[in-house]
Structure 1
Amino acid sequence: MNRATLIQGLPKVDLHTHLAGTMSAETLRELADKAGLSVPDNVYQIESADDFLAKLNLVVEVLKGPDDFELITYEYLSRAARSSNLRHCELSFNPTLFPRQQYPDILAAIRRSAESARREFGISSLLIPSICRDQGAGVAEEFLDLVLAHRESDIAGIGLDGDELAAPPEQFVDVFRRAGQAGLKRTAHVTYPPASRVLYCVDELGCDRIDHGYYVLEDPKEAQTVADRQIPLTVCYSITCKSRGWNLESHPIGPMLAHDFNLSLGTDDEAFVATDIGNEYVKVCEGYDLSMEEVGVLLHAGVNISWADEGRKAELHSEIDVALAAATTGSISNE
């Protein structure tokens, strides 16, 4: 079997995907038409990090009701199951971007599709309602109250995303500590220098893992600490190549892998770069010439740093082991 095809079909998790960024171009147009909105033809063509954030705001505008969330959740999960053998995902979404919609209604819609995908494809899902940092700490505090009031077992934790330059993590220490006291897991996007920001989010915000975190490499001492402590990082190859101008030679994922960082691959906002989690694994594993043993380490690391319960983790580890064992007994080609 072709190695890329084999990697595409191995069981996977995706811990870093934003629901609004999963919409296919066709679904985006349909929802825009339904909402009476005009979306530029180039909305999924991004040139920089700022361009991405601006165009993401246009995409978000088409989501006008719970039915829209139900549709895009099911489309994403079913598509990923078929194309990439996705077995577990942790979906981030930003309810405060939809002030005219009720959080419980959005939550119920996403849950309906997650349950449908579980029944049809065996995918497990957890939800990460996320703070849009641009809106400030006051909105974040009110949002946490809402999350806690409607918490069920599928709400694994909270996230922090949006424009990091507009609102650095220092503004959210109190709300993140309160989330931790309530038993929520925590993650935050760290997409800009300084290198110390990764450890700051872990030590001061109490983050259980970090989304991105590439610029920690700018300080060898900070990077070594992150590697030594095996701090979980979810890294996204394609979207950052597009928004940051990186490639295989310049992308931080290369040295992160070389220094045994605790990494899991994610898609981030897959529609903007026409990717899926299977394709991300192929690009990284083939691009950095990982052995099948190293591919297995990466797959298992994703399970380990997920927020799934121990029973589900055991199931996922077993699925990966069985698939890898089958792969090693077959004939693998690089063609």
Structure 2
Amino acid sequence: MTRPSTTWSTPVPTDPAIDAMVATLPKISLHCHLIGSVAPQTVAELARKHGVPLERSAEDLYDHHSYEDLGEFLRVLDVVGSLIRDPDDFHRVTYESLTTGGADHGVLYREVHLSPPGHAGVPYPTLLEGVLAGARDAETDTGVRATFVVGICRERSGAAAVELVEQVVEHRADEVLGIGLDYAEVNGPPGRFVEAYRLAARHGLRRTAHSESGPPRHVEVLLDELGCSRIDHGYHVVDDPALTRRCVEERVPFTCTPVSSDIGRYSGSGDGSHRRIAEMVDAGLLVTIDSDDPPMFGTDPTHDYRVLAHALGYRRDQLATFTRSAVEACWLDDSDKTALLARVEAMVALTPDAPAPVPAPVLQEDPA
């Protein structure tokens, strides 16, 4: 299988040792959206299939750095979602996300985030039929395993969220493990969705939610009122030392996405420093790494690890810790986690380490 070339939105220096390390490392994917995983060429072909004109060519479809404006990113996301309409479409984009967008990068397991509200007019059973078939075929062909997280659009009402959870329960599939909460946090504070999350809990669904731009208090609401077992993004947790200590003690997982969050100015002020992730790691928080909406942000699972290797000096041991943390944070049962961790450790043992970064020289002031 040939992996399409990627035009990376965050260029890094050429370093063969780092490239070999990040390419070989195993990866566990807990924060990757299906709509955001669709390659530009696939978008163009789906548009032709459904007779929908696009305002840009496939090559120019994703304007990576315009997404520091979240509204522009969500607009493009909705355009792509509107083109995925029938079971064959859902099969295709799921299969591609898990193979060329996953297994080709050493992804062993992915909890795919679905956004039913982003596919206007598509019945939930139609979506489910396609993604389950795509996941089965991807596992048969590459060994990558997938389960699913159904995302609630926080820009809609609490009643709409309850209706979506009711759909998930009515059409329950073993591969659908839980629910999430996405779209613009400023337009949908988490307290609006308590009823939907409690309904999910009663039916044994796991819970997570995005919290990328809100105050630390939102993390407390997600934990205490929505019953989330992990947080997507959550960089602002380090602004509250007491909350940080609590999350360290309770081993609350945070699914961080370096490239997309840097472009969106959540985890490093858009300066490539990724300082928020560094602060979270240094505080002892349970951090995992993924690529969010890979082609839309000009990245892929390997490149997000590469970026951290260059920006923060992380090497095999720290990067492998992110993967081990993702095994701990995933929603598989204990026996499946044990088997998955064994696969991870076997691949880590074969991963070449890159030399440690050379510290920058300390410049002495001229006494004159």
Aligned equivalent of 1:21, options 21, 36, 41: 36
Distance 2:47 2:230 in 1: 35
Shift of 1:191: 1.5
Corresponding residue of 1:215: 236
Report the counterpart of residue 96 of structure 1 in structure 2: 117
Structure 2: any 5+ residue segments left out of the alignment? 1-15, 358-368
Partner Cα distance (2:238, 2:259) in 1: 19
Counterpart of 2:323 in structure 1 is: 299
**Larger Cα-atom Rg:** 2
- Do the aligned residues in 1 keep the contact of 2:154 with 2:188 (CA within 8 Å)? yes
Conservation of the 8 A alpha-carbon contact between 1:199 and 1:226: no
| CA-CA distance at 1:192 after TM superposition | 1.7
In the alignment, is the contact (CA less than 8 A) between 2:25 and 2:320 conserved in 1? no
How many residue pairs end up in the alignment?
Answer: 333
CA distance in 2, matches of 1:47, 1:331: 33
The corresponding residue for 1:44 is 62
- State the shift of 1:99 in Å: 4.3
CA shift, 1:82, in A, is: 4.5
- 3-state SS of the aligned residue for 2:149? strand
Could you tell me whether the CA contact under 8 Å between 1:9 and 1:85 is conserved in 2?
yes
What percentage of aligned pairs have identical amino acids? 28
- The 8 Å contact of residues 248 and 254 in structure 1, kept in 2 or not, is answered as no
Q: Aligned with 1:160: secondary structure?
A: strand
Q: 1:217 to 1:43 in 2, by over 3 A?
A: farther
Quote the residue 1:269 is aligned against. 293
User: Does residue 171 in structure 1 map to residue 192 in structure 2?
Assistant: yes
Distance in 2, matches of 1:250 and 1:77, equals 26
Residues 112 and 101 of structure 1: is their aligned pair in 2 closer, same or farther, counting only changes over 3 Å?
same
Q: Which amino acid aligns with 1:207?
A: C
Matches within 5 A, 1:305-324: 305-324=329-348
Q: Is the alpha carbon distance of 1:80 and 1:258 closer, same or farther for their aligned partners in structure 2, counting shifts above 3 Å?
A: same
Residue 267 (structure 2) pairs with residue 249 (structure 1): no
**1:53 corresponds to 2:74:** yes
The residue type equivalent to 2:41 in the other structure is E
Q: Which whole-Å CA distance do the structure 2 matches of 1:249 and 1:331 have between them?
A: 22
Q: 179-188 or 191-200: which moved more?
A: 191-200
The correspondence of residues 153-168 of structure 1 with structure 2, limited to 5 A, is: 153-168=174-189
Instruction: Tell me which of 266, 282, 297 is aligned to 1:258.
Output: 282
> Deviations for 1:247-267, whole angstroms, at most 9, x for unmatched residues?
342541111111111111111
The answer as to 2:253 corresponding to 1:232 is yes
8 Å contact kept, 1:44–1:271: yes
Matches within 5 A, 1:113-124: 113-124=134-145
Q: What is the DSSP-based 3-state SS (H/G/I as helix, E as strand, rest coil) of the residue aligned with 1:156?
A: strand
Mapped to 1, the partners of 2:47 and 2:356 lie a distance apart of: 42
- Give yes or no for the alignment of 1:142 onto 2:163: yes
CA drift of 1:94 comes to 1.4
1:62 paired residue number:
83
Q: Distance in 2 between matches of 1:143 and 1:118?
A: 27
- The one-letter amino acid of 2:190's match is P
Structure 1 residue 270 displacement after superposition: 0.8
What do the CA deviations read for 1:123-167 (whole angstroms, capped 9, x no partner)? 111111111111211111111111001112111101111121111
Q: Distance in 2 between matches of 1:254 and 1:143?
A: 36
Tell me if 1:4 matches 2:19. yes
Query: Which 5+ residue runs of structure 1 have no aligned equivalent?
Result: none
CA distance in structure 2 between the partners assigned to 1:9 and 1:326 by the alignment: 8
SS in structure 2 of the partner of residue 299 of structure 1: helix
Q: Which structure has more helix as a fraction of its residues?
A: 1
**Which SS does the other structure have where 1:172 is aligned?**
helix
The CA RMSD over aligned residues, in Å, is: 1.9
Measure the CA separation in 2 of the matches of 1:287 and 1:270. Answer: 19
